[in-house]
């Protein structure tokens, strides 16, 4: 089963909230992998938010929003490995993207197509090194309306 592009775009833009039990995000400076439940405001759709910091390179972060458990709608890779778009991709075909970039669902490609942030004007600008700022920008881009408290911890 695949999502149409129109449906994927609709799902990403839907207004979302965290489950009430998620009133705090502990955003560690050490390696972590967390999953949070999101839900559509005034609707039935459920989403998953995955947050991850690399164990080897703690400057590397990954945030992704998933719909219907398996469809990655958006994934932000901060200071991650370079990515090469497929030769037949609808955006920057065959190009190798280095540094921070965002993957957006594309029909027939899933999340294999990446964009430079300057190619996505809806994504708010963030200062390098502002990890919490990146998270907030990603949540807003993903349609999250009310943010829980984000607490930065060392461990």
Most confident of 22-26, 39-43, 139-143: 139-143
* pLDDT given for residue 113 in this prediction: 98
Residues of the chain with pLDDT > 90, as a percent, come to 87
Specify which residues 44 forms β-bridges with: none
Query: Pairing state of beta strands 46-53 and 61-67?
Result: antiparallel
Checking 43-52 for CB contacts under 8 A at 24+ apart, the result is 43/14, 45/11, 45/14, 47/11, 47/16, 47/73, 49/18, 49/139, 49/142, 49/144, 51/25, 51/27, 51/135
CB 73 within 8 A of CB 105: yes
- Kindly tell me if the per-residue pLDDT of 155 is higher than 80: no
| pLDDT digit string, tens, across residues 36-90 | 999 999 989 999 999 999 988 888 999 999 999 999 999 999 999 999 999 999 9
Strand, helix or coil for residue 10: helix
Strand, helix or coil for residue 26: strand
Local confidence band at 2 (pLDDT 50, 70, 90 cut-offs): confident
Local confidence band at 1 (pLDDT 50, 70, 90 cut-offs): low
Task: Give the chain's length.
Answer: 155
* pLDDT given for residue 56 in this prediction: 82
Question: DSSP label at 124?
Answer: P
> Does the predicted TM-score (pTM) go above 0.85?
yes
CB 1 within 8 A of CB 126: no
């Amino acid at each position: 089963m695949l999502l149409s592009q129109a449906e994927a775009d609709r799902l990403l833009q839907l207004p979302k909230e965290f489950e009430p039990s998620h009133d705090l995000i502990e955003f560690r400076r050490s390696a972590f992998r967390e999953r949070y439940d999101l839900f559509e405001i005034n609707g039935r759709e459920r989403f998953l938010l995955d947050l991850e910091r690399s164990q080897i390179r703690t400057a590397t972060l990954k945030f992704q929003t998933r719909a219907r458990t398996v469809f990655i709608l958006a994934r932000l890779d901060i200071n991650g490995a370079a990515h090469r778009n497929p030769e037949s991709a609808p955006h920057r075909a065959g190009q190798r993207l280095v540094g921070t970039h965002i993957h957006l669902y594309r029909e027939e490609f899933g999340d294999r197509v990446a964009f430079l942030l300057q190619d996505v004007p809806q994504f708010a600008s963030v200062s390098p090194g502002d990890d919490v700022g990146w998270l907030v920008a990603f949540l807003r881009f993903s349609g999250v309306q009310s943010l829980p408290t984000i607490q930065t911890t060392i461990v």
